[in-house]
């Protein structure tokens, strides 16, 4: 359930952004949602949908995130990077930075699921 302090916090955030932006609320509302009353209804206490709030935030250059942020286990991340680097070295392979990042995330997820490092090395980093 959403409490009143959350709505007040959203109202304050939007109000401050409007002041920085300089455009009238109706103009921002229409540009973001197609409805010139979108901000007025929020300022009157109505909680917006996530999609409407995101559209308004995007239009006002307010970072928008929803959901829980997952904490990174830095020991596991270090171990993931080491496993990928060692695997690439053992197999004398190279990867683009994008591919290497994806591999590190995949290894991190496997390690987070308690898959042993040796199993990962054997499965993904064996000489061709």
Give the model's pLDDT for residue 127: 60
**Which tokens go with 10?**
């959203």
Residue 103 CA: distances (Å) to CA of 81, 85, 90: 9, 10, 15
- Structural domain boundaries in the chain: 4-59, 74-124
Predicted TM-score (pTM) of this structure: 0.53
Give the model's pLDDT for residue 17: 95
Q: Which of 21, 11, 18, 12 is nearest to 43 (CA)?
A: 11
Q: Which of 86, 126, 77 is nearest to 106 (CA)?
A: 77
Could you list the pLDDT tens digit for every one of the 128 residues in the chain? 456 788 899 999 999 999 999 999 999 999 999 999 999 999 999 999 889 999 999 999 998 877 766 788 899 999 999 989 988 888 888 889 988 998 898 888 888 888 888 888 777 777 65
């Amino acid at each position: 359930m959403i409490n009143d302090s959350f709505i007040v916090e959203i109202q304050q955030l939007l109000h401050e952004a409007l002041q920085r932006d300089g455009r009238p609320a109706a103009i921002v509302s229409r540009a973001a949602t197609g409805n010139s009353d979108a901000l007025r209804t929020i300022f009157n206490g109505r909680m917006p949908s996530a999609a409407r709030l995101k559209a308004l935030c995007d239009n006002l250059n307010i970072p928008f995130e929803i959901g829980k942020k997952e904490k990174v286990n830095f020991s596991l991340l270090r171990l993931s990077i080491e496993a990928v680097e060692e695997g690439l070295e053992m197999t004398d392979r190279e990867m683009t930075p994008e591919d290497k990042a994806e591999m590190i995330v995949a290894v991190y997820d496997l390690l987070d699921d308690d898959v042993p490092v040796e199993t990962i090395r054997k499965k993904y980093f064996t000489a061709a």
